[in-house]
Amino acid sequence: MTGAAGLPLDGIRVIEMGTMITAPLAATILAEMGAEVIKVERPEGDPFRAFMGGQYAPHFRAYNKNKASVTLDLSNEPDRQKLRQLLETADVLVENFRPGVMDRLGFPADMLARDFPRVPNFKSKGVGTEGPYRGRPACDTVARALSGIAHLKIDPAEPGISGPTTSDNVSGMAAAQGILAALVGRDRGQANRRVEVNMLEASIAFTPDSFAMADEGYDVDRLTRVRASQSYAMTSSDGKVLVVHLSSAVKFWEALLAAVDDPELSGNPKFATRDSRYEKYTEIQHVLAGLFRKRTLAEWVERLSANDVPFSPALTTNEVPENEQVRHLGTFTQGQAADGKSYRFINAPVRFDGKRPPLRRAPPLLGEDNDKF
């Protein structure tokens, strides 16, 4: 058993037939809230297992903690029957196959609704189950581009893809929301739900302010939001990057002026109002870049802190776990896996009554729980 007594989803059994990110992340969120998650994998396993070689890649570990793993070959009837037996004990089915795959495996939507009326069925699809793009393969970067997110991140003069997965992750989070709502509805006597999320719409919903501004006639680009939020990134004299985010509060602009102590900014009428600072954003960025190159990161941390400016050094991924605030919060934990090694995991970002859900088990080895189920 992988459920957790005392957590909100204790007693909920989730059958996850997910690969890569969206469905596995949704199931992981449910597991963090206390659900028992049984990950049903094909004999060769979730492709993410071997993403960087072996069967326990970092990508797989990141999205599959607190789960059991069983392997089933759904091309044969005995294993299809085993899946039916699991579904008879389940509260949720999660899958992210391309349209038509579940039908070919012998588990069409109408059969699932008929035979398992208390099991909400979640489907994650790339760009939707209908429309001219139905059936197209869609990965994270494709969804970012189609939803407009890539346009907000890419410099057209030097185009390139960078940064973490976005569309996959927001889809997984939206999926968890939909599944939880379906479970609440079921417990209120509502009929079985088929919950669907696609990466395209989840990604569009992730940037509502951009579409609201476009509706007002703004030519939205990668600097539109940072102009409005008055966010700046600079490099210190010792080569460290730090950012400030002034938002709309006049006090934060005044605090930054006090910290940098430069007449070119404080005495310049071009920057006197928020509207003018919006229009002159790139000019302010240029001035700040020159000023911040004159002092070390430690000096800027002291000056910005003393003046209550919203700021932070831009920490690397390796620096984050060692940050004093992150360490104080206990954001990371170690877990012992069945391969005998200890790995670092991110704790659930939600607390209940002041307590964080614990890491109950490291991600499973392929088929680790075949004998249990």
In which domain, by residue range, is 77 found?
13-207+332-346
> What is the chain's Cα-based Rg?
24
Residues in a beta bridge with 131:
none
Shared domain check, 169 and 252: no
The total domain count for the chain is: 2
Residue 225 contacts residue 211 (beta carbons within 8 Å):
no
Shared domain check, 68 and 142: yes
Task: Tell me, yes or no, whether 190 lies in a domain.
Answer: yes
CA 148 to chain centre: 17
3-state secondary structure of 84: helix
CA distance 31 to 50: 23
Task: Tell me, yes or no, whether 179 lies in a domain.
Answer: yes
Per-residue DSSP letter, 307? T
Contacts of 296 (CB under 8 A, 6+ apart): 236, 237, 238, 240
Confidence of residue 1 (pLDDT cuts 50, 70, 90): very low
Segment holding 299, helix H or strand E:
helix 297-306
pTM for the whole structure: 0.94
| pLDDT, tens digit, 9 for 90 and up, residues 157-201 | 999 999 999 999 999 999 999 999 999 999 999 887 899 999 999
Average pLDDT, the chain: 95
Shared domain check, 277 and 179: no
CA-nearest of 252, 245, 241, 347 to 308 is: 252
Shared domain check, 62 and 203: yes
Task: Tell me, yes or no, whether 327 lies in a domain.
Answer: no
Give yes or no for residue 234 having a pLDDT over 90.
yes
| pLDDT, tens digit, 9 for 90 and up, residues 102-155 | 999 999 999 999 999 999 999 888 898 889 998 888 899 999 999 999 999 999
CA-nearest of 203, 97, 198, 96 to 146 is: 203
Task: Tell me, yes or no, whether 225 lies in a domain.
Answer: no
Shared domain check, 294 and 173: no
3-state secondary structure of 182: helix
Shared domain check, 67 and 174: yes
CA distance 291 to 124: 48
Shared domain check, 341 and 289: no
- CATH number reported for the structural domain that contains residue 98 in this entry: 3.40.50.10540
Residue 29 one-letter amino acid: I
Shared domain check, 187 and 124: yes
Per-residue DSSP letter, 271? G
b/e string for 268-307 if b means 16 or more Cβ within 10 A?
A: eeebeebeebeebbeebbebbeebbeebebeebbebbeeb
Task: Tell me, yes or no, whether 135 lies in a domain.
Answer: yes
Report the percentage of the chain scoring pLDDT > 90: 90
Length of the chain, in residues: 373
CA-nearest of 39, 96, 34 to 67 is: 39
